[in-house]
Amino acid sequence: MGCWNSLNLGFDNGKKWSFSSEIQLRSLQFYKNYNYHEYKGIISYKLIPNLQTSLVLGRYTTFGSGKTFQNPKLAEEFRVALQLGLKNTIGKFQVDHRYRVEKRYYTSGTRGVRIRYRVGLSTPLDKKKLTSLSLSNEFLIAINSGSSIIKFDKNRINVGVTRKLSNMVSMQVGYLSQYDSKSADEPGNNFFVYSLFLNMSKLAIHKNHQSEN
């Protein structure tokens, strides 16, 4: 059982644009033997209330599986991705679809393209909607550079419970099961998931209220 930890910062201007960033640390054992980190930024534009398009830029690094961040690096890459997100509600359930096409630039000179599709389902567990249960399944298809070879790369199933701690802070714990084709990046099959979400737009609103007072 490895660990998949993330810190997410988000800002929404309440209109069309939103901005977010994410830092991830992953380990092959329970909070030891860290072998992966990533950081990325996301710029999103809301086309209609339930449809959003995004540009994703990030740096992703995978190390050997011996000790924490042990060289040699198995893969180091920069990614540029275009993403489309669709949400709709069915009764008490919210269904979201994420479509992503990403271009991968490895420091070794190799390039590739990966197509990703994730479908998710979430529902509140209490009347105040402070706690919610979510389930998602993501499929990743890799296209190798310089060839027409299309390979089923990974499949990730994630179940989690999210708790809203305040207007600004939310936390999620869960479990992720991954089918891995044993490509060079991000090995591992089972992960404990912990995520922390900070809504920075709420902080900006709080500061504005303080200045007005």
pLDDT over 90 (residue 66): no
For 123, other C-beta atoms within 10 Å of its C-beta total 14
Q: What is the DSSP string of 33-72?
A: EEEEEEEEEEEEEEEETTEEEEEEEEEEEEEESSSTTEEE
Nearest Cα residue to 69 out of 28, 116, 111: 28
* pLDDT tens-digit series, residues 84-137: 999 999 999 999 999 999 999 999 888 889 999 999 999 999 999 999 999 999
For 59, other C-beta atoms within 10 Å of its C-beta total 13
pTM comes to: 0.88
Q: Which two tokens stand for residue 158?
A: 């994630």
Nearest Cα residue to 90 out of 121, 117, 125, 119: 121
Nearest Cα residue to 177 out of 164, 165, 159, 161: 159
pLDDT over 50 (residue 158): yes
Residue 14 gets which letter from DSSP?
Answer: S
* 163 neighbors 131 (Cβ within 8 angstroms): yes
Query: What average pLDDT does the segment 145-160 reach?
Result: 82
Q: What angle do CA 71, 75, 78 make, to 5 degrees?
A: 125
Q: What is the DSSP string of 181-213?
A: ---SS---SEEEEEEEEEEHHHHHHHHHHHHH-
Instruction: Please enumerate in sequence order all residues whose Cβ is within 8 A of that of 52, keeping only pairs 6 or more positions apart, or say none.
Output: 18, 44, 45, 46, 84, 85, 86
* pLDDT tens-digit series, residues 168-209: 999 999 999 998 776 555 566 899 999 999 999 877 555 554
Q: CA-CA distance, 132 to 180, in Å (whole number)?
A: 28
User: Which residue bears the tokens 């390039």?
Assistant: 111
Residue 166 gets which letter from DSSP?
Answer: S
Complete domains list, the chain, with CATH: 2-212 (2.40.160)
Kindly state the percentage of the chain with pLDDT values over 90. Answer: 68
Q: CA-CA distance, 114 to 145, in Å (whole number)?
A: 10
